[in-house]
Amino acid sequence: MTRALPVLTVLMLIVALWYAGAVWLNSTWVYDQAQRVGTSVTLAEVIPQTMTQTRPLLPPPHQVAAELWKGVAGQKVTSKRSLVYHGYVTFRGTMMGFALGIVLGVGLAMAIVRYRVMELSVMPWAIISQTIPIVALAPMILTVSNQIGVENREIPKAIIAAYLSFFPVLVSMVKGLRAPDAMQLDLLCTYGASDAQTFRKLRLPASMPYFFASLKVVVAAALIGTIVGELPTGAIEGLGARMLIGSQFGEPLIMWAALFAAAILAGGLILLVGLIERLARARMGAPA
Amino acid sequence: MKDTQTTVRPVIEAKGLNLVFQTGDGPVHALKDVNLTIGKGEFVSFIGPSGCGKTTFLRCIAALEHPTGGTLTVNGMTPDQARQSRAYGYVFQAAGLYPWRTIAGNVKLPLEIMGFSKADQEARVRKVLELVELSGFAARYPWQLSGGMQQRASIARALAFDADILLMDEPFGALDEIVRDRLNEELLKLWARTQKTIGFVTHSIPEAVYLSTKIVVMSPRPGRITDIIDSPLPRDRPLDIRDSKEFIDIAHRVREGLRAGHGDD
């Protein structure tokens, strides 16, 4: 309870500010309407009218919640209007990008730790790759994969997600695989251990805390990458496409509901990664 | 007859050993003209101030450093060959146990790397944990053990593959004096039971005198041997032998040797 109190306080504050913002932004429309018909309205009359508009500038929380509920529970999960359906498409893309990013990041980190020349040749490019805005790159990846005949829309999405997620894994794993000190390495040397044995018995397990620390960042990055990958070129599935539709057709409620669905998905993914980390830590004998 | 043969043949023999490190500030003479013979079953301590090359010499025996001059043989082989034939176990100043492995898992590490069979691994782990009196802690993780117990586990790990030689680099340096006394006593018992040849680096005079059959006094710049003392103390040594006149005499000679080495500072 004592831990929930500060969280709840902040939440209440955010909701209050949100309502205030909704009243402020949506009232413009109410005043305009009143002016058009030549009447004047008092603030007490304005406030209720800011809460129920069909196309508000800033939808108040209860409208977003209702739209979200409608999207999740209001229809069959296979419906094109179901947020569960779109959420699942985005989740699938995120997981593919996440897995691809981990494989790429860990693979590059292994090569960099093993071969010095890899560090000099690959690391600068890995850093430069992260300075290119993903929104600029995503359409190109989609177009190119279309040009070379990749029919499956999931693949360019996964590539975009992996593009964002490999880097944190790479940086953490380079650090993690180098975590064992000289004494640890000398000890294995006295056993006549091979490089492969040193990697498997020492470097890899020693890197696990670094790996898991990066995963929480990476899973969120993969989700963002997937949504960005769903935005351009008229994608029709996924939370990103849903946001785009809401924006293009002037349906802010759809956009906001999709946004919150994405946030909830991100939260769930981070909790899941945290759970896996806890299980792994317990298996590796860390104090509870 | 076999006995006389093994006692005569040296286990470790260094002749005119030199090691020069090339550093940014020019060459550093870590070891200069080191001559030393260690027989089977001896307990040899290396003592001296930092930079005297005592650790470097131990690392040369373990083929972790490679001498730039002279010859060094371990069991009649080069240090590299000796490593391949599992001639020695090495104990570092820090226990260096893997936090993700249990105590048994840590002791098993060298056995896994050297490819012992599963059944053999289990049997050996049980045996050496018994030897260092940690049988009840096989399933614990390192963080659940005290510093002294962790260091005992690391000794068990070095003994697991049954090397003839045990090389110890200030193994008790990070422990408090009470724990250190007890571990010294236990180490002597272990040595008596296993008949290992032990090379032991320390910066403590009482520790060196209490443990050793031979004390090698070294001094820095360049790293060299200034005195080799064969201890007249009996092999069976209770802790209170440290109050005997013989003990104090040897300690005095070690101290003199250390002081002489420092003369040019």
Contact B113 A208 (CB under 8 A): no
The pLDDT of B100-110, averaged and rounded, is 95
Q: Which residues touch A147 (CB under 8 Å, ≥6 apart)?
A: none
Residue B172 in this model has a pLDDT that exceeds 80: yes
What ipTM did this prediction achieve? 0.86
Buried b (16+ CB within 10 A) or exposed e, A120-131: eebeeebeeeee
Quote the pLDDT of residue B90.
94
Contact residues on chain A for B141, CB-CB shorter than 8 A = 285, 287
Find tokens 């963002």 and name the residue.
A224
Distance CA B74, CA B165 (A): 9
Quote the pLDDT of residue A235.
67
Distance CA A3, CA A15 (A): 19
Give the distance between the most distant pair of CA atoms in chain B: 57
Nearest to B191 by CA among B218, B171, B220: B171
| Confidence label for A71 from pLDDT (cuts 50, 70 and 90) | confident
pLDDT tens across B48-78, in order?
Answer: 988 888 999 999 999 999 999 989 999 889 9
- The nearest alpha carbon in chain B to A287 belongs to B143
Residue A1 in this model has a pLDDT that exceeds 70: no
Q: Which of residues 152-171 of A touch B (CB under 8 A)?
A: none
Top-tier CATH class for A83-283: mainly alpha
Quote the pLDDT of residue B1.
40
Contact between A265 and A239 (Cβ < 8 Å): yes
Contact B90 A202 (CB under 8 A): no
Contact residues on chain B for A191, CB-CB shorter than 8 A = 109-110, 113-114
Quote the pLDDT of residue A234.
59
B142 phi/psi in degrees, rounded to 5: -50, -40
Comparing A223 with A39, the larger pLDDT belongs to A223
Residue B2 in this model has a pLDDT that exceeds 50: no
Q: Determine the 3-state secondary structure of B87 from DSSP.
A: coil
| Confidence label for A153 from pLDDT (cuts 50, 70 and 90) | confident
Residues B216, B210, B149, B197: is their CA dihedral positive or negative? Answer: positive
The pLDDT of A2-6, averaged and rounded, is 84
Residue A13 in this model has a pLDDT that exceeds 50: yes
pLDDT tens across B135-145, in order?
Answer: 999 999 999 99
pLDDT tens across A221-250, in order?
Answer: 999 999 988 887 556 788 988 888 888 888
Buried b (16+ CB within 10 A) or exposed e, B195-210: ebbbbbbbbbbbbbbb
Residues B85, B88, B94, B97: is their CA dihedral positive or negative? Answer: positive
pLDDT tens across A125-134, in order?
Answer: 999 998 988 8
- Rg of chain A's alpha carbons, rounded to an integer? 25
In chain A, which residues fall in CATH 1.10.3720.10? 83-283
Quote the pLDDT of residue B4.
44
Contact with chain A for residue B94, Cβ under 8 A: yes
Distance CA A34, CA A40 (A): 6
Percent of chain A with pLDDT over 90: 47
